[in-house]
Amino acid sequence: MNSYRIEHDSMGEVRVPNDKLWGAQTERSRQNFPIGVGIEIMPQEIIHALALIKKACALANRELVPEKMTEEKCAAICTAAEEIMDGTLAAHFPLVVFQTGSGTQTNMNVNEVIANRGNQLAGRTLLHPNDDVNMSQSSNDTFPSAMRIAAVIALEDRLLPAVDRMILALKTLEAENEDVIKSGRTHLQDAVPIRFSQEISGWREGLERDEEMLRALMGSLGELALGGTAVGTGLNAPKGFDTSAAREVSGLTGKAFIPATNKFHALTSLDELTAVHGVVKALACDGMKMANDIRLLASGPRCGFSEISIPALEPGSSIMPGKVNPTQCEQLSMVAVQVMGNDAAVSLAASQGHLELNVYLPVCIYNFLQSVRLLSESLDSFRERCICGLKADRTRMKEYLDRSLMLVTALNPVIGYEKAASVAELAYREGLDLRTACLRLGYLGEQELDARLNAEKMV
């Protein structure tokens, strides 16, 4: 049977499970928002970022207001915050995403856990969650700052490395297939020849452009709202707190963060997060394009294109023996769909800034971080289990190339479009190759035909 202790806040007393470090405000939120409990909980990336902020702010307050933030208090806050960041206290953050739109309860959850853990370490009541742990802060500036910190860490440490690994794998695949010429396809119809390496390069270039755009926009996420407190005026924060806190965050993360130039904007606008997620969506779109191309090229094995083979990972049917499906293409496509849906949620959340505060913050960052996490893992899985085992069927590609009617395009400069079309139509109608059809119509001699209908010269 659970035992309880009595905690209190400005509204009165609350019973809290005795084995938990949270306090009254966390417990009120836990009771008031039974929505997605245990599933749609606040991302651990946000808890980590808030704990990092609490440590940074304690160090800034120690520097600026040492009479209030004593050495003992600062040390206790830092130690408890570090335990949160290393995951030791993960069980003490139960709150769901769908709470107050400012993230206030989660900010207080972190404040209460740090205060109670700090008091445990001190062996006495040393820290107050509001007066000490939340000193010089408001949920209104800490939560938006945590969102940006979590976003930058997720992008720099997870997504961009996954993209780089995929680009490298595609470059390797390009090099392996430099000498392979195949039929191109537009509108899912035969088109002029292309090197398989050139087709692969289209996938690679898309990812490289996405990475360039991500890096170009990510700098805007480095501006923190810390120091703005409740509405952007900085009430109750000492002079220079924003600069000091941002400097401490930079030191703790090893990443570049600076004070927001306009705190009123930083508290109410999510435009930078929306823009960056737009590029994450673009990356998902390019991932889906690549996955769809690959599953078309691998379709078969006897009744499809069958131009490439991809690793067979598991049985594909519960009823059809021997069937193998392009499951890695399917998982990447589904992740892309999720990211596109998340982009709609992020965009709608960003549009709902009312007056001095946006109150859709938790749902915005929940979707943003989910997109980054899923896409990072999806790209790595797709690379490892599909791209690295992808092989061209050179025989099948050569067979399709030799049968392609669109090689006739190379005759346009010599005999003109209409005569070239008549060659293709005759060849298709009577099942001839292009060379035979053109000779029958008398448009060109054998020697010039052989020179013109050379796929090597068309790519």
pLDDT reading at 2 higher than 90: no
Look up residue 106 and give its two tokens.
Answer: 């989660």
Tokens encoding 392: 């061209």
pLDDT one-digit tens code per residue, 439-451:
999 999 999 998 9
Percent of the chain with pLDDT over 90: 99
Q: What is the pLDDT of residue 353?
A: 81
Over residues 404-433, the pLDDT tens digits come to 999 999 999 999 999 999 999 999 999 999
Query: Is 187 an active-site residue?
Result: yes
**Mean pLDDT score of the chain:** 97
Fold of the domain spanning 404-458: Ribonucleotide Reductase Protein R1; domain 1 (1.10.40)
5 forms bridges with which residues in the sheet?
A: 16
Residues 362-405: pLDDT tens digits? Answer: 999 999 999 999 999 999 999 999 999 999 999 999 999 999 99
With a CB cutoff of 8 Å and minimum separation 6, the contacts of 10 are none
Is residue 277 annotated as part of the catalytic site, yes or no? Answer: no
Catalytic residue among 3, 8, 29, 187: 187
Within 10 angstroms of residue 354's Cβ, the number of other Cβ atoms is 10
User: ω before 17 within 30° of 0 (cis)?
Assistant: no
**Tens digit of each residue's pLDDT (9 = 90 or more) over 305-330:** 999 999 999 999 999 999 999 999 99
Please state which CATH class domain 4-135 belongs to. mainly alpha
DSSP category for residue 42: P
The domain limits of the chain are 4-135, 141-175+193-393, 404-458
The catalytic residue among 8, 220, 317, 351 is: 317
pLDDT level of residue 1 (50, 70, 90 thresholds): low
pLDDT value of position 321: 95
Average pLDDT over residues 233-261: 98
Give, as one character, the DSSP assignment of residue 43. Answer: P
Share of the chain above pLDDT 70, in %: 100
Q: Which fold has domain 141-175+193-393?
A: Fumarase C; Chain A, domain 2 (1.20.200)
